[in-house]
């Protein structure tokens, strides 16, 4: 699914469905991982830029949930609230 980089950077590598990866790139939230740009991996691996404020952190949480769901994760958290695409718009 992915990993987070050190605190000073805060960026993440995530694996997402290609349309979602492309949309994040289009919106300026991410770029393809360098192994994608070198043709060594499919266009599902991205580096998502670290959040700079609480709003960006909230958006990033939704992106991480999307990666989790894409990896076959549950669509509800342990406390029962919906996550990812099933979550109500907030």
- The reported pLDDT for the residue numbered 72 is 80
At 90 the pLDDT is 44
In 3D space, the residue among 67, 62, 58 whose CA is nearest the CA of residue 2 turns out to be: 67
What is the mean pLDDT, run by run of 10 residues, along the chain of 90 residues? 75 90 93 94 93 92 87 74 54
> What's the length of the chain?
90
pLDDT for res 78: 73
- What's the pLDDT score for residue 79? 79
52 near 28, Cβ under 8 Å? no
Q: Residue 3: what pLDDT? A: 73
Q: Give me the pLDDT at residue 89, please.
A: 47
Q: Is 67 exposed, middle or buried (0-12, 13-18, 19+ CB in 10 A)?
A: buried
Sequence spans of domains, the chain: 2-86
State residue 86's pLDDT score.
Answer: 47
């Amino acid at each position: 699914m992915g990993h987070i980089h050190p605190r000073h950077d805060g960026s993440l590598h995530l694996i997402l469905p290609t349309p979602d990866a492309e949309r994040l790139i289009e919106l300026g939230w991410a770029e393809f991982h360098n192994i994608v740009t070198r043709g060594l991996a499919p266009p599902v691996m991205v580096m998502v830029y670290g959040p700079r404020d609480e709003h960006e952190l909230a958006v990033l949480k939704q992106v991480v949930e999307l990666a989790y769901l894409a990896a076959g994760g549950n669509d509800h958290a342990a406390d029962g609230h919906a996550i990812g695409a099933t979550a109500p718009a907030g």
